[in-house]
Amino acid sequence: MALKIRLSRGGSKKRPFYRIVVAEASAPRDGRYVERVGHYNPMVAKDNDQRLVVNGERITHWLGLGAQPTERVQKLLSTVSLAEPVKLREQPKKSAPGKKRAEREAEAAEAAAAAAAEAAEAAAAAAAEAAEAEAAPADEAPAEVEAPAEAEAAAEETDGEAQS
């Protein structure tokens, strides 16, 4: 018999009132319960003593027997130091990635790592080429001589077009 400490709603429309009850996990929300251990009235001010009334002795008894509080009840009980605060999840339950999505993300990460490795190799090759170019300055001198000749040829073409 799995027990839960949870809220059972009462009150009229738009005026909620909750009983804090110990009930079987399979029982309906407002159905039969094992024991009522307090109540919570969200309609009163937060500093009012009647907003949350609990029987701390009975709650610790049921927690000792293995009853699991719901997240909302655990949050309420943590305000009166009867339970640990709710641990926040990084992701909501519904938006946790599925197996296929996790596989796709892993493949994308591998592809990004491979691309980064290729980029690193290309940068290393470019650095090696630059080092070779610095080591052989005599090879560059004829290339510089050819560049002005090409510039003169381009200048002659533009002069020829301007005269036409």
The pLDDT value given to residue 147: 56
Is residue 116 domain-shared with residue 75, that is, in the same domain?
A: no
* Assigned domain for 144 exists: no
Reference 37, options 26, 49, 52, 24; nearest CA is 52
Give φ, ψ of 43 to 5 degrees.
-85, -15
Mean pLDDT over residues 23-40, rounded? 90
pLDDT band at 110 (very low <50, low <70, confident <90, very high): very high
Is residue 108 domain-shared with residue 73, that is, in the same domain?
A: no
User: How many domains, the chain?
Assistant: 2
Is residue 75 domain-shared with residue 108, that is, in the same domain?
A: no
Give φ, ψ of 25 to 5 degrees.
-65, -30
The per-residue pLDDT for range 119-156, each reduced to its tens digit, is: 888 888 888 888 777 776 654 455 555 555 566 666 66
d(CA 139, CA 146): 12
The more confident residue out of 60 and 145 is: 60
CATH number at residue 52: 3.30.1320.10
Is residue 23 domain-shared with residue 74, that is, in the same domain?
A: yes
* Assigned domain for 20 exists: yes
The pLDDT value given to residue 40: 94
pLDDT band at 60 (very low <50, low <70, confident <90, very high): very high
The pLDDT value given to residue 164: 53
Give φ, ψ of 79 to 5 degrees.
-70, -25
Beta bridge partners of 7: 20
Reference 42, options 18, 60, 8; nearest CA is 18
Is the confidence at residue 6, as pLDDT, over 80? yes
Is the confidence at residue 30, as pLDDT, over 80? yes
* Assigned domain for 131 exists: yes
The pLDDT value given to residue 113: 92
* Assigned domain for 140 exists: no
- Domain span at residue 115 reads 98-135
